[in-house]
Structure 1
């Protein structure tokens, strides 16, 4: 497989070498090949446009990036995001700008390896027994955690502090953030085993003020505008070029390396 851009050949060997930079774990190697082919085609289009403008294009392709940056700065208008645009985005996407919901939790981990069915069953049974004990004697939680829990928090009587998304494993977070305050009726199953859980309190997330996130919104919107503007510019260059061996209109993405 080779590609020609206005008569300039991009060889199969070059595509194979480039594909090493586009590998993704577990992905079909052909996907990396397609991304590499698109990247090299786009790069060649930009190189040829820089030559048309009599820019100082280096012979070594590894030194081409500064020229591409200059070309884009010269020929691509990238809109800025003013305060009105940023505020509109903020008001249309309020869920993006909240502090996370949290739950203050203590737990007792009964460890059980996912592939050891007997150990998992024993962990579940022990967790259910402990829940029954705690229904009779809620004040025994800390002592039972120190005795049975296989989590480092056992030294703190099972107290984990405030838990929010991204701080533990998802299956644990999803459960504790939905549970009501108090001792959970059933053990929570995770990849580590079964957890006896008591939710001490919920702390609801709060909406961040616009002023606190204004700069983050501006950077995001301008990054999106930049990518869109560059993509349109590449499409214009491709439309004026003779390209054989690849259809950029069918490509999944247009890359600038």
Structure 2
């Protein structure tokens, strides 16, 4: 029965033609054809071309070689055809579930869009003219989007629950976001390498720094060693260079500090200024964000992640239960 329905739909499509009067006899050219069948509906080549047009223009303006341009256009065609199939499926589900949006809701949505963009009614109409779209077409597009949103709410969102345990687990597992930031109170020893030094001279400075690091590890005061040997501007203050949030330090120093506790020194670092040692005097952490202040933020994040996964799963299930035929 369904097969007969498909055949009747296919047979019933009129092939659009036009005639030319350039010669005495009229010639006809096929303007449209079916590129996909989605259950009882069809997708026409003209629909696909209209959806592809903005992307096609952008690709052709990039100056790619012929082979790359062809591949990119093929990928866009596949992507846009899949989107059209998904839209047909969701539209069919909208009809099946008798989901409706009235004109008042469309009016309200357009007013919100105008307010968000500081548009007057004239501004909106001017914008639509630039986009080659009538107000009637725009209203229809808004209505389609509202219907699809309502379908997602009905099929997916209404069935999702984010628990308090999930919120707390996410909060606890992201201390770098919610638990405050680490601040390091640092001292350093800097030994410069003179310009035009030989490799042997540079190695000698490195070995001297390694010896200083060993002395720190065996218990000598880093501050005393800094006063005696450092060539940095903070030498007189025992190498005390202040407190820093970790993310404000260079990647090289951040990496060297990983895993260190107060009272420990980094490895000898070869930097633009010369060889350096950094000593962790103290580690302080700024006050984190209480769970109560970020609960809604975390809930929304988790909810959105689940919605995205559930929607894709629902759409895949819908595809598997549907008759979809792609006609190349």
Fold equivalence (TM over 0.5): yes
Give, in whole Å, the separation in 1 of the partners of 2:277 and 2:300. Answer: 43
Partner SS for 1:144: coil
Q: 1:16 to 1:123 in 2, by over 3 A?
A: farther
RMSD: 5.2
Q: Which residue of 2 aligns with 1:94?
A: 172
Q: 1:200 to 1:18 in 2, by over 3 A?
A: farther
Give, in whole Å, the separation in 1 of the partners of 2:78 and 2:286. Answer: 43
Unaligned runs of 5+ in 1: 21-27, 113-117, 149-156, 247-257
Asked which structure has the greater CA Rg, the reply is 2
CA contact (8 A) 1:109 1:193 kept: yes
Unaligned runs of 5+ in 2: 1-33, 38-42, 60-67, 104-127
Give, in whole Å, the separation in 1 of the partners of 2:171 and 2:200. Answer: 44
Partner SS for 1:200: strand
Q: 1:144 to 1:67 in 2, by over 3 A?
A: farther
Q: 1:44 to 1:127 in 2, by over 3 A?
A: same
Please list, as runs of the form range in 1=range in 2, the aligned pairs for 1:1-257 lying within 5 A after superposition. 4-6=35-37, 7-9=43-45, 10=48, 17=56, 36=76, 39-48=79-88, 53=95, 66=142, 69-77=145-153, 78-79=157-158, 85-91=163-169, 94-97=172-175, 98-107=179-188, 125-130=204-209, 132=211, 137-140=224-227, 144-146=231-233, 159=241, 161-164=243-246, 166-182=247-263, 184=265, 186-188=267-269, 194-203=275-284, 209-239=290-320, 240-244=322-326
How many residues in Structure 1 have an aligned counterpart in Structure 2?
A: 221
Partner SS for 1:146: coil
How much has 1:181 moved relative to structure 2? 2.8
How much has 1:200 moved relative to structure 2? 1.2
Give, in whole Å, the separation in 1 of the partners of 2:167 and 2:57. Answer: 37
Partner SS for 1:197: strand
| TM-score, normalised by the number of residues in structure 2 | 0.47
Give, in whole Å, the separation in 1 of the partners of 2:71 and 2:229. Answer: 53
Q: Which residue of 2 aligns with 1:115?
A: none
Structure number with the bigger relative contact order (C-alpha 8 A, sep ≥ 6) is 1
How much has 1:119 moved relative to structure 2? 8.6
Give, in whole Å, the separation in 1 of the partners of 2:270 and 2:281. Answer: 19
